[in-house]
């Protein structure tokens, strides 16, 4: 897997709250951190990483290019700005955060710029986020499937995104699941809670383990030390085929994020 199976998300976290979350996670053993230009917290992430004293080579840092920076002349400059904020010479993974609204910047243009950033050593891997099957095909046509590490998408038991997953996996593109816990809604699901009880685990651990067992990377976030530590327990949890089938049956097409004017026509 080109993307670590388990990492820390930082969406909606800023300032000292973010710094404390990243610092605690690194102390507990997290080594993959996911951020984005639009989160406006890259500098905070960089501060927490620098203070940790952990060797850069031991970390896997991901950020995402915002739609305002897709034009060929802007993308690399914006990435360099992200590197400055993150206090690092390179990213391990750089993603296109959302497709360009109304195709204002063609997929071919921003994927070519992202590939150029990789050739310049600014990022080790490149990928996409919130891409449909059609958009993934355009990205593949632009740079080749072998150069696309992942498609980061909303994916949880209530929205399993199977069409996108099957297409990505068929082309060797890893799936990264965000919002894996469905904003916490999944933690009260009777099926998940029953499975958790059988494993003496938490509902979050079961859900994260389900996603990783399907081959997806996960990036849960938390501001609480106890939850950060508990979520790590998902890495060692294995669910039975019957349990995986029960969770597969929870699919109901419940999409939680679809920003107006930005979101594509979903599959």
- Mode of pairing for the β-strands spanning 150-154 and 123-129: parallel
Annotated binding site: 97
pLDDT at 239: 98
Q: How many domains does the chain have?
A: 1
Model pTM greater than 0.95?
Answer: yes
Q: What's the average pLDDT block by block, 10 residues per block, for the chain (267 residues)?
A: 92 98 98 98 98 98 98 95 98 98 97 98 98 98 98 98 98 98 97 98 98 98 98 97 98 98 97
260 within some domain:
no
Residues in binding site for substrate: 97
Smallest CA-to-CA distance from 142 within 155, 156, 153, 131 is with 131
Position 267 in a domain: no
CA dihedral 231, 211, 207, 162 (to 10 degrees): 150
Let me know if 216 is a catalytic residue: no
- Give the CATH number, domain containing residue 70: 3.20.20.100
Q: Which of 30, 39, 158, 178 is catalytic?
A: 39
Is residue 55 included in any domain, yes or no?
Answer: yes
Instruction: Provide the residue range defining the domain that includes 73.
Output: 8-248
Q: Which residues of 215-252 are buried (b: 16+ CB within 10 A; e: fewer)?
A: ebbbbbbbeeeeebebbbebeebebeeebbebbeebee
Q: Does a structural domain hold residue 259?
A: no
59 is a domain residue: yes
Whether 154 maps to a domain, the answer reads yes
């Amino acid at each position: 897997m080109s993307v670590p199976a388990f990492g820390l998300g930082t969406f909606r976290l800023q300032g000292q709250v973010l710094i404390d979350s990243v610092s605690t996670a690194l102390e507990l053993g997290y080594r993959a951190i996911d951020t984005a230009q639009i989160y406006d917290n890259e500098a905070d992430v960089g501060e927490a990483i620098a203070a940790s004293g952990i060797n850069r080579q031991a970390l896997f840092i991901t950020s995402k290019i915002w739609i305002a920076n897709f034009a060929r002349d802007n993308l690399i400059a914006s990435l360099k700005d992200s590197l400055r904020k993150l206090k690092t010479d390179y990213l391990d993974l750089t993603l296109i955060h959302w497709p360009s609204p109304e195709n204002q910047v063609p997929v071919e243009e921003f994927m070519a710029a992202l590939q150029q950033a990789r050739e310049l050593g600014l990022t080790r891997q490149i990928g996409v986020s919130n891409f449909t099957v059609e958009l993934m095909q355009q990205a593949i046509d632009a740079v080749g499937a072998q150069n696309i590490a992942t498609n980061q998408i909303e994916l949880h038991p209530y929205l399993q995104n199977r069409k996108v997953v099957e297409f990505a996996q068929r082309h060797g593109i890893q799936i990264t699941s965000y919002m894996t816990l469905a904003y916490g809604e999944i933690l009260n699901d009777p099926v998940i809670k029953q499975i958790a009880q059988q494993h003496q685990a938490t509902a979050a651990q079961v859900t994260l383990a389900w996603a990783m067992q399907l081959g997806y990377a996960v990036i849960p976030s938390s501001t609480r030390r106890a939850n950060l530590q508990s979520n790590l327990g998902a890495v060692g949890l294995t669910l039975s085929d019957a349990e995986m089938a029960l969770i597969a049956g929870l699919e109901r097409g419940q999409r939680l994020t679809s920003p107006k004017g930005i979101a594509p026509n979903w599959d």
